[in-house]
Structures are given as C-alpha cells and as structure tokens.
A and B are shown apart, each in its own frame.
Chain A
Amino acid sequence: MPKWFLPLVAVAAVMFAASPFLIANAPYEATMGLVQKIFYYHLPSAWVFLLSAIVCGIASARFLFGGSPRQDRLAYAAAELTVLFGAIVLVTGPLWARKAWGVWWQWDVRLTSSLMGWMVAWAYLLVRKYGGPGSDKLAAGLALFGMANVPFVYISVNYWRTIHPATSVVPTLPVDMGLALWFAVACFLLLFVLLLRLRVYLEEQRARLDALYLSLDE
C-alpha cells in the first residue's frame, strides 16, 4: 500500500467522527425539521454512488479498448463501491421520504433511475462472479450502460415532474447547512478514494496469487 494510505485513513476516521457534531449544530430546515438531517449523509453518498459508476464505466471502456488488466481491476473495485454507496442512498432516502413525503418509495424518475443504476452494478458483480471465461468483457459492457445512466439520474429531477428536490437546492443552502454538507461531502469523497485504493490492492494481490499458481504449474 502507498505511504499516504494510513495517514489518510486516520484523517478520514477523525472527519467521520466529527461529522455528527457539525450536522447536529446545523440549523433545522423549516418544513421538514429533524428528519431533514438525513440529507447530510444521503446526498454525499449519492454523489459518490454516481462517481463510482463513472469511474467503473471509464475504466471498463479503457479495458475494452486497451485491454489493460489494471483498468479491469479498477472497474471491478469501483463496481463494488457503486453497490455499497448505492445501498446507502437507497436506504437513507426512503427513511427520509417516509416522514417528508408520507411514503417509503415513489416510482418517480430519480428514484427509479437510481435503483436501475444500482441494479446494473449488481449485475456487473454477478456476471464477474458467475459468468465464467470472458465475463470481464461482458461486465465491462454493463458498466458502460451504468455510466450512461448517471447523467440521466442527475438531470432527471430538472426535466420530469417529480417530488424529489431539484439540483438547485444545494447552491441555495444557508451557510451553516452548506458547511455541514460540504464537510460530509469531503468525508465521503476521502472514504471513496481510500476504499477504492484498498479494493484495487485486493485485486492486485489476487492477480499476484494467480500468477504464482501459474508459475507453480509450469
């Protein structure tokens, strides 16, 4: 592992431990009250969910057209993180919606396209695990589809009638709310970088293990 890894793990741990205090001190939203504070983890995890789908898609495209195993390992790691952060988004969102909207789930365009992106990432992992030889390229194609879904997820609230808040909410936040939000965003981005590096390292070790088995056979 690189030298910067452990110090950044310590920084991320301190930031995550501090984040509940900043969130608790952020002002209450006027109409939703306490439950709106789910927003401070829901939104950053949603951004990281979309970011990891993009990383997975770009790495898959480079693997498909360049054939680099390094890009394949990066795509595999990013797909797993897409599932992880997608799960966070799809659980925290309904918990917030139950109070704010009165329903756990609504089949509107933002929620449905997010669920679809999450299912594509699951499909990627299942194809990689059970698809047999050649599944890496098939999964890479799925990752491209997952990446193409990302802009649709992001802009959907601005073009379709939906009860989900639009993308214009974040720039209009008051300073105290914005401070807590951007701190949480920094936490989640740092965590994403660290988890991605750790997961890629696992794939590197697996590749090394495969090479050792091959050398034993020879």
Chain B
Amino acid sequence: MRALVLLLLLSFSPSVTFAQQPEPQQPKQTDEFVPISQLPPQDQLPAAPLLVIAYAFVWLVLFAYVVSVSRRLAKVQHEVQRLESDIAKRA
C-alpha cells in the first residue's frame, strides 16, 4: 500500500509533469564563420557608396560654404565702395 501511494505521489509531482512537456525549440545559433557572399541580402551592405557619399558631402559642403561667404563678402564690399564714393561726392 505504501509503495502504491509513493508511486501515485511521484506520478503527480511537478518534476514528472514538466518532464512530460515538449522542450521549446531554441533558435539555431551561428557559431562558425559565414562568408559574406552567403549572408542574407540585407546584411550585405556595400561600404564603398557610403564612403564616397561621406567624402563627397564634406567636399561639397565646404566648397558651397566658401562660395557663399565669398559672394556675401563681394556684395558687402561693393556696397561699401558705392557708399564711400557717394560720401566723397557729397564732400
């Protein structure tokens, strides 16, 4: 009788219950070298266009700024010369 009760208790114990459940499937981990050509397309981002865009942007922005300051300066200097000649005529 004692053996029967022990058997029943063991059969309803949590450890036995969990053991009967199917184990959740773990995602497959990559633990070895994968050549770049075998990566999915979203991971094969080429570096060269990014590099070219970065350097082109720097050069273009600096050039545009120098042109912008030069044009503003030329405009102000032209105005200064015009006013100076006006003042000289008045004098």
Known contacts being A41-B58, A92-B54, is A99 close to B45, with CB within 8 Å?
yes
Known contacts being A195-B66, A208-B80, is A99 close to B55, with CB within 8 Å?
no
Q: Are A34 and B47 in contact (CB under 8 A)?
A: yes
Q: Are B87 and A96 in contact (CB under 8 A)?
A: no
Partner of B48, one of A34, A84, A98: A34
Count B-side interface residues using an 8 Å CB cutoff. 25
The main secondary structure of chain B at its interface with chain A is: helix
Contacts of A98 in B (CB 8 A): 45, 50
- 0/1 string, A188-213, CB within 8 A of B gives 1: 00010001001101100110110011
Known contacts being A202-B69, A209-B79, A209-B83, is A88 close to B47, with CB within 8 Å?
no
Known contacts being A33-B47, A205-B73, is A216 close to B87, with CB within 8 Å?
yes
A199→B72 CA distance, assembly (Å) = 10
Count A-side interface residues using an 8 Å CB cutoff. 32
- 0/1 string, A60-92, CB within 8 A of B gives 1: 000000000000000000000000100110011
Q: Can you pick out 11 interface pairs between chain A and chain B where the beta carbons lie within 8 Å of each other?
A: A38-B51, A84-B62, A84-B65, A87-B61, A92-B54, A92-B58, A95-B50, A99-B45, A205-B80, A208-B80, A212-B80
Which A residues are within 8 Å of any B CB, using their own CB? 20, 33-35, 37-38, 41-42, 45, 84, 87-88, 91-92, 95-96, 98-99, 191, 195, 198-199, 201-202, 205-206, 208-209, 212-213, 215-216
The 7 nearest A-B residue pairs measured at CB: A35-B47, A34-B47, A212-B83, A92-B54, A205-B76, A95-B54, A38-B54
